[in-house]
Homo-oligomer: A and B are copies of this chain.
Amino acid sequence: MKLWQDKLRKIDPYVPGEQSDAPGLVKLNANENPYPPSPRVQELLRGACAADFRRYPDANGSNLRRALAKHFGLGEDQVFMGNGSDDVLALCFQAFFASGQPILFPDITYSFYPVWCDLLRVPFERVPLQDDFRIDPRSFDRPNGGVIFPNPNAPTSLGEGPGFIEDILQHNQDCIVIVDEAYVDFGGVSSVPLLEKYGNLVVVQTMSKSRSLAGLRIGYALCAPELCAVLDAVKNSYNSYTMDMLALACGTASVEDDAYFRETCAKVVATRERAAKQLRGLGFTVLPSQTNFLFATHEKHAARAIFEALREKDIFIRYFNAPRIDNYLRITVGTEEEMDRLAAALQEVL
Contact = CB atoms under 8 A, between A and B. Distances in A.
A250 B50 contact: yes
A147 to B, nearest CB: 11
A35 to B, nearest CB: 7
Interface residues of A, number: 94
Contacts of A86: 238-241
A2 B176 CA distance: 11
Interface string A181-199: 0000000000000000001
Contact of A230 (B8, B17, B32, B240): B8
A3 B216 contact: no
Given A199-B2, A238-B116, A242-B83, A34 B54 contact: yes
A157 interface: no
Nearest to A144: B7
A9 B59 contact: no
Given A16-B240, A216-B244, A176 B7 contact: yes
Contacts of A11: 230, 233-234, 237
A12 B233 contact: yes
Contact of A3 (B95, B116, B173, B212): B173
Given A8-B98, A9-B95, A241-B86, A53 B30 contact: no
Interface in A91-126: 94-99, 101, 115-116, 118-119
Nearest to A47: B45
B36 A42 contact: no
25 contacts: A2-B174, A4-B199, A7-B176, A8-B176, A11-B230, A13-B229, A13-B237, A14-B233, A15-B236, A19-B55, A32-B54, A32-B56, A33-B54, A35-B54, A37-B51, A53-B212, A55-B214, A83-B242, A83-B244, A86-B238, A116-B237, A217-B241, A244-B244, A244-B246, A246-B246
Interface of A: 2-17, 19, 21, 30, 32-37, 39, 41-42, 45-46, 48-60, 83-84, 86-87, 90, 94-99, 101, 115-116, 118-119, 145-146, 173-176, 199-200, 208, 212-217, 226-227, 229-230, 232-234, 236-247, 250
